[in-house]
Structure 1
Amino acid sequence: MKYPKQLHLPGAVFGCLLMLLFAACSQKDKEMKDASPAADVETMTEYLVSQGFDGQQIVFEKDRVIIEQDIIMTMPELEKRVADWQEEKAGGVQTEQRRHTSLISNSYNSNVRIYIDPGVPTAWRTAVQGAVNNWNSISGTRLGMSITTSQSNAHCVVFMGYQNANWVARAYLPSGGLPGVSVEINGYYNSLSASYKLFTITHEFGHTVGFHHTNQTSGIHIPGTPTSDPNSVMNSFILPWAGFTSGDVLATQIIYPL
């Protein structure tokens, strides 16, 4: 199959037409079920929209919420963020506190340990190792990653899923000072080229360490970085891997300085 020059991570249809895009995040195809969160769905949605997320790209499930199709947040984490937000509106907590919870603490950020489930095919395993090498190649930052053979010793687990849907991979954001707990790869897209696979996993690891999409409005803008960076690895379109942009490097150096 011939792939287009640009593949969309968060929201397009996969197919054989030249202009079709791939979603590297979750398809908005599930409704919230059996959930009774402390904060109601309307309030949680209001909070997420206040943070710049698109209200039409928020999917509630039983114990988590999927945002912008490849960002996953647990329900307890979202409830805590909503509570902090409500307190802030009342004059309490500052925004810096909420931003900090989206990053990894110094106790873990110099060696984010990643475990690859045995069910992950060789081609994707190669992409995972390449993505680890990519993030480790950025100089002037304390952020580091390694692959561990012990799941019990890992911060983040990479595993396979399968769904005939328009998402290629999806990941959790950091929580409680720890990296995002997992990256799920959709086996439906196993035919992607090695270059697209590498871009995809590098992108998803970016989410696990706290980055949002550069071409969307969610998250807090990192001062000193470009407001437009179309070739960023955190852009929501899959590209053939061509290295980090200067904006990617600068952003990493700013949020995880030496």
Structure 2
Amino acid sequence: MRSPEKTHLYSVLSLTFLIVLFSACSKEEKKDVVAADNTEEMTSYLTSLGFDKQHIVFDKDRVIVELDILMTLPELKQRVAVWKKDNSGVPQTEQRRNTYIVSNTYNTNIKLYIDAAVPSNWRTAIQGAVNNWNAVNGTRLGMSIVTSQSDSHCRVFMGNETANWIARAYLPASNGRPGVSVEINAYYNSLAANQKLFAITHELGHTIGFHHTNQTSGTYIPGTPQTDANSVMNSFVLPWNGFTAGDVLATQILYPQ
């Protein structure tokens, strides 16, 4: 039995009913799987970063890893090429943070565009999440919402699947740009406002380079807790109650003033 104040992000389908555990990180059905000659090589690269092979899904022109993290196939292929050149086949140890973060060109004002179809309650959550990241002291990190998609770095838009993910996002690209999009699942429009805020703050964390704090992928950030039960970057949704000290320290380390 779960506590009422901690709602896990995974959902489980039974034969008779759907128990919703409010997932921002889900087990996606393997449909429209991309047919790529080098998926095995790309999978090897991702597992070298600490991703679980069971949580890597190739879907059309992208890959979904750890259930709510997205990468385009061209970006992934570029990462694999660099990995092969740099490491010459040497096995890699598990890491704790993303290879790429947002460069100084963009990180003081990461511009988000919200599609017109995004409902007002999610818009409130997006604005709140932007405010959350902007309020972290001692960093150069800044975000804003703009009205022109052509002037934006990251697009926030609605999806609609009877599936067990709340939202998912791209990681920063190798060129230093923030993750290109955050997709929200309209199936969870009835989620409580404070959980919407937590979920969007979590997804914006992915767009600036944070991995899940309760899993093994990514490079560990020295000096921060390796486990942090209330971290916004854990793979479950809580009612928003602010960043933990570990969240703040990690942000200050990645994006110092």
- Matched residue, 1:234: 233
Mind listing any 5+ residue stretches in structure 1 that lack a counterpart? none
Q: Using the aligned pairs only, state the percent identity.
A: 64
SS at match of 2:252: helix
SS at match of 1:113: strand
SS at match of 2:12: coil
- Matched residue, 1:132: 130
Any residues of structure 2 matched to 1:60-71 within 5 Å, and which?
60-71=58-69
Deviation, 1:90, is 1.6
Any residues of structure 2 matched to 1:90-109 within 5 Å, and which?
90=88, 102-109=100-107
Equivalents in 2 of 1:26, 1:136: separation in Å? 28
Higher relative contact order (CA 8 A, sep 6+): 2
Equivalents in 2 of 1:156, 1:26: separation in Å? 22
SS at match of 2:11: coil
**Counterpart check, 1:8 vs 2:15:** no
**Aligned pair in 2 of structure 1 residues 34, 211: CA closer, same or farther (>3 Å)?**
closer
TM-score w.r.t. length of structure 2: 0.90
RMSD of equivalent CA atoms: 2.4
Any residues of structure 2 matched to 1:198-217 within 5 Å, and which?
198-217=197-216
Contact 2:98 2:218 in 1 (8 A): no
Deviation, 1:88, is 2.2
Equivalents in 2 of 1:211, 1:89: separation in Å? 23
TM-score w.r.t. length of structure 1: 0.90
Q: Report the number of matched residues.
A: 249
- Matched residue, 1:22: 22
Of 146, 149, 153, the match for 2:147 = 149
**Aligned pair in 2 of structure 1 residues 128, 107: CA closer, same or farther (>3 Å)?**
same
Further displaced range: 76-85 or 21-30: 21-30
- Matched residue, 1:191: 190
Deviation, 1:89, is 2.2
- Matched residue, 1:59: 57
Deviation, 1:34, is 5.0
SS at match of 1:225: coil
Deviation string 1:49-87 (CA, Å, 9 cap, x unpaired) is 111111101100121000011000010111111112212
Amino acid in the other structure paired with 2:66: E
Deviation string 1:134-179 (CA, Å, 9 cap, x unpaired) is 0000010000000001111000011001000100000000102000
- Matched residue, 1:83: 81
Mind listing any 5+ residue stretches in structure 2 that lack a counterpart? none
Equivalents in 2 of 1:46, 1:88: separation in Å? 15
